[in-house]
Amino acid sequence: MIDGPDAAGEGASGDPTYYDRPVLKEPVWIWAVPAYFYAGGAAGAAATLGAAAQAIDSRGLEGLIRWCRWIAAAGTAAGTGLLIHDLGRPERFLNMLRVFRPTSALNIGSWVLAIATPMAAASALPLRRGGAAGRMANAAGLLSGITGLPLVGYTGVLLSNTAVPVWQESRRALPPLFVASAVSSAASLLALMSLAPEEHLVVRRFGVLGNLAELGAAAAFESQASRVERVGRPLREGLSGSLWTWAKAMTATSLCVSILPAGGRRLRLLSGLLGTAGGILLRFAVVSAGKASTRDPRATFHMQRADRPEGLPPGP
């Protein structure tokens, strides 16, 4: 016989629970998953920016295109390795490619990553501009940019389609948050590279846009999650709350530094480092908040009762 709360589901504090135990199983993801979210997002945004620069002015923005391709190649390769590390064995990643399921964000993301990785690697090869090899690299760069578009945001869709309370309650803001943060992350990495002045201007504008969008999406994410106080608690308390606060502070500071009128190389490097730290912390904060949310035995019940249509009885 189980001691403690009875079958009516009243916890020690009077809140409805199931014997004061978590309703959901905590995600078993290790550190490699939020690291993959960062690497894949930054790679996808860099690939997309590089493809756009190639289409607009391939000669005038040659240095920017080259660095975008290298970041995309390194990010997708690192992301593949991180994902396989979390899965445990390489064949588990290959098993996800045995079917194509458009309704599954995980399956679509696996296919996108499988295509984007070789395309990004091929585009980054140090080939001469002219000739068939150069044209093939340029074609690979354009294809890498196309696959980069879903790569930046599918992870946000993946999280929002789960039953984890903090992710489910903020499901409308989570994908835009990951897309905006990917743009900010790519711009922060590019700010650390050696580029021509006109290329740095493009990166600066790209980064300011990404930072503003990320801060706005972060505010929306937190607001939606906090509509049910218990659900939004991981964004204010504990390790996840600290990571979330520092992520927003790093991104905001990076934005402030990047828009200073007397910006030089040192300020550009500082802004890039702050933005990179903010992007990494944001992914770890979101994943940590999800784990904390599943450990809370009351968060799921509070969210379900808040979503119940008005006038519907609470049931047995």
Domains, the chain, with CATH or none: 28-152 (1.20.1630.10), 162-295 (1.20.120)
Q: How far is CA 167 from the centre of its chain?
A: 13
Tokens coding 4: 């403690």
State the pLDDT at residue 4.
42
User: Which residues on adjacent β-strands are paired with residue 16?
Assistant: 10
Write down the pTM of the prediction.
0.88
| Alpha carbon distance 35, 100 (integer Å) | 25
**Tokens matching residue 94:** 């290959």
Contacts of 130 (CB under 8 A, 6+ apart): none
Question: Which residue positions in the chain have pLDDT lower than 70?
Answer: 1-17, 127-130, 307-316
The 10s digit of each residue's pLDDT in 141-194 is: 999 999 999 999 999 999 999 989 999 999 999 999 999 999 999 999 999 999
pLDDT at position 307 is 61
Selection from 270, 279, 217, 216 nearest residue 246 by Cα: 279
Whole-angstrom distance, CA of residue 145 vs CA of residue 139: 10
Q: Given this model, what pLDDT does residue 5 score?
A: 45
Q: pLDDT value at position 127?
A: 61
Q: What's the one-letter identity of residue 194?
A: S
Q: Which of 40, 178, 32, 45 is nearest to 112 (CA)?
A: 40
Q: Which of 165, 142, 139, 181 is nearest to 42 (CA)?
A: 181
As a whole number of angstroms, the distance between CA 149 and CA 52 comes to: 11
**The total number of residues written for the chain in this structure:** 316
- 76-100 in b/e form (b: 16+ CB < 10 A) is bbbbbebbbbbbeeeeebeebeeee
Question: Token pair for residue 248?
Answer: 């927003």
Q: How many Å apart are CA 315 and CA 294, to the nearest integer?
A: 23
